A and B are shown apart, each in its own frame.
Chain A
């Protein structure tokens, strides 16, 4: 069964360093998302991506964040200069259609990357 994969499973970095979190969405999917979950808190939407551009972003997704689909299979989240408060579990998700009338599309999630900023 197709699945979303994420690498690495755990990333430890020093404050101020750049990190790139990688995701491989399900191959025929067209819509891509990043979410994060700070330990003990709720899962929060960061950004959605379609047709090689950002569709929507949250207020969390500031200039330190960027997303890219560099080669048609990977979908990356870059944090340019990490802060302590960026420590969280980051989830990638993808979906294959946007049913505007029913407002429903199933998003398939990866296992997450745990980012620890020291």
Chain B
């Protein structure tokens, strides 16, 4: 079946450090891939998306590239800020169907000044 695997957290970084959160997926067909972010006390917000192979999603300095050959969608940011502290979820929707989201376990990021 379809599934998403994320690196375990928490990830603790100093401000301005480089961030990578690994995400790999298993899916039939051609899924769309997403990163959602959850700030403390809030709901899930879409951070970025990619709908086909080699697409790069980007937003707020974050980016991720849909790599079909390695079934990966790693999240990166060149210089994190304290305000980026949150839980990050990688997710996919299978092609066709009613677009339920299949999530990874989430990775907590803590950025210190």
Residues on A close to B: CB < 8 A? 4, 31, 33, 35, 41-45, 48, 50, 55-56, 58, 91, 93, 95, 98, 100, 102-112
Closest A residue, CB atoms, query B44? A109
Interface size class of chain B, counting residues whose CB lies under 8 Å from the partner chain: 20 to 34
Which A residues are CB-close (under 8 A) to B104?
42
Which A residues are CB-close (under 8 A) to B42?
111
Report 13 cross-chain contacts, Cβ distance below 8 Å, ordered by A residue: A42-B103, A43-B44, A44-B103, A45-B100, A98-B99, A102-B32, A103-B30, A103-B95, A103-B99, A109-B36, A109-B44, A111-B41, A111-B42
Is there contact, CB below 8 Å, between B98 and A98? yes
Given contacts A42-B104, A42-B105, A107-B101, whether A100 and B96 have CB atoms under 8 Å apart is yes
Which B residues are CB-close (under 8 A) to A98?
98-99
Which B residues are CB-close (under 8 A) to A107?
46, 99, 101
Closest A residue, CB atoms, query B4? A42
- For the complex formed, measure the closest distance between the CB of B53 and the CB atoms of chain A, giving whole angstroms: 13
Is there contact, CB below 8 Å, between B100 and A48? yes
Judge if B45 is at the interface, Cβ distance under 8 Å. Answer: yes
Which residue of B36, B51, B102, B106 is within 8 Å of A104 (Cβ)?
Answer: B51
Which B residues are CB-close (under 8 A) to A100?
96
Is there contact, CB below 8 Å, between A50 and B41? no
CA A100 to CA B41, docked complex, whole Å: 33
Closest A residue, CB atoms, query B103? A43
